C-alpha cells in the first residue's frame, strides 16, 4: 500500500493539544458584542399626496419610503419591479410629471403633489398603449422582468426625441435599462415600431 511516509521513518507524533484559553472577561468582550447594539429607531411619519395613474392618492408613510415601495406596498401596483436597488437596471422606471425616473432611489416624499404614471396606467379604455402593442408584436421580451421599465423608458424616449428615431439613438438611450434574456435586438425593433405607433395613434396616457 502506498504510504505518504518515506521507508524506514516513523510517522511524526501528533502535536500535544493546546491548553484551554480562559473565558472572555468583562474587560475583553467577545467580537460578537456589537450584534446586541440596539437598531436605529424608525423614521418619522409624514403624509404624502399625489396623483397616480390619474387617481388622487394619499397615505401616512415613513419619511424614508421609496417611491417604488409606495407604489408596490401601499398601492399594490406591482408592475413596477425592483431589480438592483441602485438605479442601474431600470426595472423600476416610472414617469413623474411626464419624465422618466428610477423609482428605486426616489423618495416618495419628493413626489408629493406630483403626477405619477406607472406601467399599469399606460393602457387606456381596455386598449394597450402603442408601445405595449409593439413589444407584444415584436416579442421584445423573454422573462418579462425588465419589460415594464423598458416600456416606460421607451415611451419617454419618444416623448423627448420624437417618433423619428434611429436604432443608434434607441440603443444609446436605453443604456440605463438592462435585459438579461433577449440580447436587445427585438427590444430595439419594438421601440422603433412603438414610436411609429405613437405618432400614428396619440395615446391619452402620454
The correct answer on CATH 1.10.10.10 for the domain covering 123-201 is no
> For domain 47-121, which architecture applies?
Roll (3.10)
Nearest of 149, 156, 199 to residue 141 by alpha carbon = 149
Radius of gyration, alpha carbons of the chain = 28
Q: Checking DSSP bridges between strand 55-62 and strand 45-52, what pairing results, if any?
A: antiparallel
DSSP state letter for 189:
H
pLDDT at 38 over 60: no
Residue 201 has pLDDT above 80, yes or no: no
In this structure, what is the dihedral angle of CA atoms 21, 26, 32, 38, given to the nearest 10 degrees?
170
E strand or H helix at 181: none
Residues 136 and 145: their CA atoms lie apart, in Å, by 14
Interstrand relation of 55-62 and 93-96 (parallel, antiparallel or unpaired): unpaired
Strand order from edge to edge, sheet including 55-62: 55-62, 45-52, 115-117, 93-96, 99-102
SS3 202: coil
What is the distance between the alpha carbons of residues 90 and 60, in angstroms, rounded to a whole number?
Answer: 27
pLDDT for res 31: 39
What are the tens digits of pLDDT across the range 59-94? 999 999 999 999 999 999 999 999 998 999 999 999
CA 189 to CA 128: how far, in whole Å? 18
Is residue 43 very low, low, confident or very high in pLDDT (cuts 50, 70, 90)? Answer: confident
Asked whether the predicted pLDDT for residue 204 surpasses 70, the reply is no
Between 37-51, 70-84, 115-129, 140-154, the lowest mean confidence (pLDDT) is in: 37-51
Question: Whole-structure pTM over 0.95, yes or no?
Answer: no
The separation between CA 85 and the C-alpha centre of its own chain, rounded to angstroms, equals 5
pLDDT of residue 15: 56
Q: Where in the chain is the domain with CATH 3.10.20.30?
A: 47-121
Amino acid at each position: 500500500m502506498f504510504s505518504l511516509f518515506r521507508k524506514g521513518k516513523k510517522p511524526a507524533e501528533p502535536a500535544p493539544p493546546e491548553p484551554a484559553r480562559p473565558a472572555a472577561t468583562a474587560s475583553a468582550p467577545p467580537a460578537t458584542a456589537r450584534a446586541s447594539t440596539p437598531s436605529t429607531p424608525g423614521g418619522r411619519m409624514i403624509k404624502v399626496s399625489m396623483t397616480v395613474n390619474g387617481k388622487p392618492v394619499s397615505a401616512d408613510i415613513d419619511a424614508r419610503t421609496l417611491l417604488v415601495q409606495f407604489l408596490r406596498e401601499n398601492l399594490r401596483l406591482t408592475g413596477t419591479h425592483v431589480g438592483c436597488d441602485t438605479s442601474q437596471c431600470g426595472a423600476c422606471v416610472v414617469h413623474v410629471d411626464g419624465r422618466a425616473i428610477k423609482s428605486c432611489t426616489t423618495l416618495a416624499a419628493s413626489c408629493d403633489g406630483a403626477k405619477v404614471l406607472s406601467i399599469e396606467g399606460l393602457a387606456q379604455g381596455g386598449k394597450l398603449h402603442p408601445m405595449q402593442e409593439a413589444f407584444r408584436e415584436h416579442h421584445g421580451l423573454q422573462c418579462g422582468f425588465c419589460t415594464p421599465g423598458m416600456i416606460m423608458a421607451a415611451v419617454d424616449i419618444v416623448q423627448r426625441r420624437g417618433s423619428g428615431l434611429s436604432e443608434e439613438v434607441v440603443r444609446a438611450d436605453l443604456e440605463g435599462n438592462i435585459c438579461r434574456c433577449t440580447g436587445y435586438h427585438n427590444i430595439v425593433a419594438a421601440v422603433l415600431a412603438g414610436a411609429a405607433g405613437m405618432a400614428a395613434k396619440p395615446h391619452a396616457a402620454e
